[in-house]
């Protein structure tokens, strides 16, 4: 299936990218990331336009995310309750969302894309605000599109080399993001502790 889709990229271009990326956001087994790498190669060869390719991929990803999010709002709790004990991705997505909130949406776009659709479903079912979901999701999808199209462009569509590099880049970016999040958490804990320590002498004096 993958080779067949890749052969169609020069002919159908944006339409193929839009449909494949959208279906990938619905948790269907389509090679969306590989298709973006190939699209980057065709951009480098002059067969596709960079801006158009990136915008189509980003718009389709955002649209797919919104569909699953609102499906989660409509029937998310029932679906999660029905699947939770039998579907590990749903359980992982719900736990990740509970721990990290909107930041989990951001990470699931590019660091753990396999969990993306399940995080979207859990976000809708948990009542995560639409604006928060949309902003975090769009930021994460932008990184995903830029990463894979950019690597395809840099490696001229060499899927093996670009895929290997993608794993390395994602690992570095993931470690950086998690380190930054840990730093923010530690700073907040330190500030809260100082405020608490400052309030105790005041309470004792009163």
| CA pseudo-torsion sign 83, 88, 90, 95 | positive
Per-residue pLDDT tens over the stretch 53-100: 999 999 999 999 999 999 888 877 677 666 655 567 777 888 888 888
Tokens representing 115? Answer: 């969990």
Query: What's the pLDDT at 195?
Result: 72
**pTM attached to this predicted model:** 0.78
Instruction: Count structural domains, the chain.
Output: 1
Query: What's the pLDDT at 160?
Result: 60
Tokens representing 155? Answer: 């490696």
Identify the band that residue 7 occupies on the pLDDT scale cut at 50, 70 and 90.
confident
Query: What's the pLDDT at 170?
Result: 54
Per-residue pLDDT tens over the stretch 12-26: 889 999 999 999 999
Exposure on the CB side of residue 128, measured as CA atoms within 13 A: 30
**Residue 60 structural domain:** 2-205
Per-residue pLDDT tens over the stretch 92-136: 888 888 888 899 999 999 888 888 999 999 899 888 999 999 999
pLDDT at 182 over 60: no
User: What mean pLDDT do residues 31-42 have?
Assistant: 89
Q: Tell me how far the alpha carbon of residue 65 is from its chain's centroid.
A: 9
Identify the band that residue 50 occupies on the pLDDT scale cut at 50, 70 and 90.
very high
């Amino acid at each position: 299936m993958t080779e067949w889709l890749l052969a169609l990229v020069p002919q159908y271009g944006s339409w193929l990218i839009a449909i494949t990326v959208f279906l990938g956001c619905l948790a269907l087994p389509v090679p969306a990331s590989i298709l973006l790498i190939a699209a980057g190669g065709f951009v480098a060869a002059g067969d596709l336009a960079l801006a158009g390719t990136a915008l189509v991929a980003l718009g389709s990803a955002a649209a797919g995310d919104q569909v699953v999010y609102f499906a989660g709002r409509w029937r998310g709790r029932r679906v999660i309750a029905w699947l939770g004990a039998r579907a590990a991705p749903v359980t992982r997505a719900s736990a990740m969302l509970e721990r990290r909130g909107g930041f989990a949406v951001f990470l699931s776009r590019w660091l753990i894309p396999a969990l993306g659709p399940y995080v979207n479903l859990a976000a809708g079912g948990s009542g995560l605000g639409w604006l928060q979901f949309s902003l975090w999701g769009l930021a994460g999808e932008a990184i995903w599109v830029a990463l894979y199209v950019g690597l395809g462009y840099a490696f001229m569509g060499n899927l093996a080399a670009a895929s290997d590099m993608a794993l390395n880049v994602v690992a570095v970016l993931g470690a950086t993001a998690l380190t930054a999040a840990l730093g923010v958490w530690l700073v907040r804990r330190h500030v809260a502790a100082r405020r608490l320590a400052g309030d105790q002498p005041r309470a004792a004096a009163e």
